[in-house]
Structure 1
Amino acid sequence: MFGRTPPPNRQTPVPVAGRHLVLDAPMVGPWPAGYGVAVFGMGCFWGAEELFWQVPGVYSTAVGYAGGDVPHPTYEQTCTGRTGHAEVVQVVHDPAVVPYEDLLRLFWENHDPTQGDRQGNDIGSQYRSAVFWTTDAQAAAAARTRDRYAPAVRAAGWGEITTEIAPLREFYYAEDSHQQYLSAAKNPHGYRCHAATGVAYPR
């Protein structure tokens, strides 16, 4: 992968806390019946998670890794670009309060989906723009909203959207030190990368 040998496989999941520091919800499923699970890659996962935990109807969030071939990767392994994973945020939501397409609008507007393997000064495949879908309906919505957003992005002088849209094979939790990293209890003044285009999603 990427012309280099991937790092050794881990056999056990990374342990995380039982409760969400901000939402006081479970960090690990099973989730309430009828709730959806959305997974987005939009650069550094700290700021992405903070963005989504503020949305009414979001039940729980977690940061982790998806889209690669190495099970249970560490943060250090993922940062090498050799695992194939992207840094992602998992968003568990009540679709009766916040539909999946509303989450997609937030996703499109709060990062730059034209940058390929980077967001701002964060460079590497781990920072790529990605939607990892968990249902056929999510796959269709991701493609539909991309196609609706792309002309607005082009008209504003940006390039073509490079966002990966792919089925979620596995979500691997990141280390507990990264969960809710920007919360008041951890690093409220920590690093946030929102390399957004400033282009509004067409309403």
Structure 2
Amino acid sequence: MFLYGRTPRLPTREQALTGRPEPMFDLPARHTVLGTPLAGPYPEGMEVADFALGCFWGAERAFWRLTGVYTTLVGYQGGYTEHPAYEEVCSGLTGHTEAVRVVHDPALITYEQLLRVFWESHDPTQGFRQGNDVGTQYRSALHTRTPAQAAAAAASREAYQRVLTAAGHGTITTELLPAEGRPFYPAEPHHQQYLDKNPWGYCGIGGTGVSCPVGVAGAGG
């Protein structure tokens, strides 16, 4: 990770690794659990949402279990390095988060319901860490793709902050930023659906135990 002393710090664009113009691998054709294509174009009516909530192995599993989710894939987002490698992201010199792309049918599960899973599946007050995982790549972030997503994300953060504060928790550090200009770069094939391939593998995410008061109706899995 990129450190000044012992504190993780985001690099500037000038400090970030350059990366490469093309990916170093081919993405697997299908999701190992859902059997659906990982890469687009996706079926008509599907919507795309991007979430960062710590180690992407456990984060992805939290979403693929939900009814109405068409496919999920893990990747890197929010930084400067083009088509980064996992080791480069772990160095802290890319500026990227570990992220999950969730493709969903809004008739079955709404963005607001996905936001509830996002907030409840991690501790959004921890800054550049999530549990024992420390580094800028583990920061909490929502990269919104439409004005409607941006409005819903902001409203949910405000609502969750109120209940977190009442429960004695700190200030939410989750970044809310437009996805435009912040490409999602898929991670290497062995990271995709990692906890399906490695059922006893590490899962470092965990929530605060505080329920989020948005998107309550209709989310199931």
User: What's the TM-score once normalised by structure 1's chain length?
Assistant: 0.96
Contact 2:57 2:193 survives alignment (8 Å): yes
Matched with 2:51 is: 40
TM-superposed CA distance for 1:2, in Å, is 2.4
Matched with 1:12 is: 22
- What is the letter of the counterpart of residue 179 of structure 1? Q
Matched with 1:118 is: 129
Matched with 2:11 is: 2
Matched with 1:167 is: 178
Identity of aligned residues (%): 56
For the pair 1:26 / 2:34, whether they are aligned, the reply is no
What secondary structure does 2:141 align onto? strand
For the pair 1:108 / 2:92, whether they are aligned, the reply is no
Matched with 1:193 is: 204
What secondary structure does 2:168 align onto? coil
CA distance in 2: counterparts of 1:71 and 1:92, whole angstroms: 22
CA distance in 2: counterparts of 1:33 and 1:80, whole angstroms: 38
Which deviations, in whole Å up to 9, do the C-alpha atoms of 1:84-132 show, x marking residues without a partner?
0000000000000000000000000110000011101111110000001
In the TM superposition, 1:43-82 aligns within 5 A as 43-82=54-93
Aligned counterpart in structure 2 of residue 89 of structure 1, from 89, 100, 106 = 100
TM-superposed CA distance for 1:157, in Å, is 1.1
What secondary structure does 1:107 align onto? helix
- What is the letter of the counterpart of residue 117 of structure 1? F
User: What's the TM-score once normalised by structure 2's chain length?
Assistant: 0.88
Shifted more, 7-16 versus 189-198: the winner is 7-16
In the TM superposition, 1:117-196 aligns within 5 A as 117-168=128-179, 169-183=182-196, 186-196=197-207
- What is the letter of the counterpart of residue 26 of structure 1? P
Q: Could you list the runs of 5+ residues in structure 2 that have no partner in the other structure?
A: 1-9, 217-221
TM-superposed CA distance for 1:160, in Å, is 0.5
TM-superposed CA distance for 1:16, in Å, is 1.2
CA distance in 1: counterparts of 2:200 and 2:192, whole angstroms: 15
- What is the letter of the counterpart of residue 177 of structure 1? H
Shift >6 Å, 4+ stretches: none
CA distance in 1: counterparts of 2:207 and 2:103, whole angstroms: 23
CA distance in 1: counterparts of 2:51 and 2:16, whole angstroms: 23
